[in-house]
């Protein structure tokens, strides 16, 4: 009898282990909100996407929405999370809370937001990056910024203010750093920046704005990728040239591209390389596109520019 009981217990235990194995599905990555991530003068919300398969020290991509949007909305409406699954990087999705003519726009207009560690949204975003480095082992040498519209504007902002934090950025439908005079200048229908007159500055003036954001900084600058639709009327296409002038001046490069090509139908690319052949600035003019970027496939191009593929 004792032998039968022993055999029964053994079989039952094996069945229970088998059932437990089938009942517990493999973990699936999902968007998670993080609270208490650190200094947050912008009063922002933070969501993070951590893929199941990733290296011990994954790269970090900060992906920022347009005005009226949210981090979860940009997660759902862009391709960065699926690319994170493929290439094993973390994605931080900040949610702006500032109100300046629209709802939920990233602060690229206040005096605080134009100076390193000055406060407002840029400081909140850097806190999110530090949290991701500490909590998830994110690689501080591979941190990147990208965003659409207001998020594209904030991409230029973060590259200017924190060149020691971000290694590269991809700005979709942005404006040069320092373009907006103040909150009243932000709404497109009343803005000198997006209205044209206030944005026509020399490359030197644009470059000085970046240099003054972090006085005395002499280290390496993050590489920059810029995207704009030629039919964009909300953030006019002409601002792409102003962004090019700003960043080429920061790098001490000629305004004349070192190469031009059409990597895909309707995508005209200008590249600006340094003396060693490294592309420091590249700009995409998307023919006929309005205020609707990134479109399909563009996020993958940004991720490749970051060196994450």
**Is the model's pLDDT at 273 over the cut of 90?**
yes
Write out pLDDT tens, residues 186-197. 998 889 999 866
Over residues 82-88, the mean pLDDT reads 97
Q: In this structure, are residues 97 and 44 in contact, taking their beta carbons and an 8 Å threshold?
A: yes
Q: How far is CA 266 from CA 4, 144, 263, 289, in A?
A: 76, 26, 9, 9
Specify whether 27 is catalytic: no
Write out pLDDT tens, residues 276-296. 999 999 999 999 999 999 999
Give the pLDDT score at 46.
Answer: 98
Over residues 119-126, the mean pLDDT reads 97
The residue behind tokens 């991509």 is 61
Rounded Cα–Cα distance for residues 166 and 276 (Å): 21
Over residues 19-34, the mean pLDDT reads 60
- Out of 120, 124, 149, 285, which one is annotated catalytic? 149
Rounded Cα–Cα distance for residues 223 and 217 (Å): 16
Over residues 171-200, the mean pLDDT reads 89
Q: How far is CA 235 from CA 132, 158, 177, 193, in A?
A: 32, 19, 14, 9
pTM of the prediction? 0.90
Cis peptide preceding 294, ω within 30 of 0: yes
Give the pLDDT score at 188.
Answer: 86
Percent of the chain past pLDDT 90, that is, above it, reads 85
**Is the model's pLDDT at 3 over the cut of 90?**
no
Q: What are phi and psi of 166, to 5 degrees?
A: -100, 135
Bridge partners for 228 per DSSP: 285
Over residues 134-146, the mean pLDDT reads 98
């Amino acid at each position: 009898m004792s032998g039968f009981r022993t055999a029964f217990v053994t079989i039952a235990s094996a069945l229970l282990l088998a059932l437990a194995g089938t009942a517990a599905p493999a973990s699936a990555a999902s968007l998670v909100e993080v609270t208490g991530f650190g200094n947050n003068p912008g009063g922002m919300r933070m969501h993070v996407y951590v893929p199941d398969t990733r290296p011990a020290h994954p790269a970090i991509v900060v992906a920022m929405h347009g005005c009226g949007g949210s981090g979860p909305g940009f997660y759902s409406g862009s391709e960065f999370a699926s690319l994170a699954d493929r290439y094993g990087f973390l994605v931080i999705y900040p949610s702006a809370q500032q109100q300046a003519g629209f709802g939920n726009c990233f602060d690229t207009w206040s005096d605080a937001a134009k100076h390193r560690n000055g406060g407002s949204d840029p400081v909140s975003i850097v806190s999110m990056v530090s949290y991701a480095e500490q909590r998830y082992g994110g690689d501080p040498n591979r941190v990147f910024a990208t965003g659409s519209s207001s998020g594209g504007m904030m991409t230029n902002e973060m590259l200017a203010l924190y060149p020691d934090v971000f290694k590269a950025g991809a700005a979709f439908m942005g404006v040069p750093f320092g373009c907006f005079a103040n909150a009243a200048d932000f709404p497109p229908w009343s803005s000198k920046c997006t209205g044209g007159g206030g944005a026509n500055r020399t490359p030197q003036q644009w470059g000085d704005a970046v240099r003054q954001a972090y006085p005395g900084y002499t280290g390496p600058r993050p590489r920059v990728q810029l995207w704009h639709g030629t039919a964009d009327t909300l953030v006019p296409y002409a601002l792409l040239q102003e962004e090019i002038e700003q960043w080429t001046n920061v790098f001490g490069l000629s305004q004349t591209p070192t190469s031009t090509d059409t990597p895909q139908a309707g995508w005209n690319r200008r590249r600006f390389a340094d003396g060693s052949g490294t592309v420091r600035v590249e700009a995409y003019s998307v023919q006929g596109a309005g205020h609707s970027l990134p479109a399909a496939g563009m996020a993958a191009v940004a991720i490749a520019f970051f060196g994450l593929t």
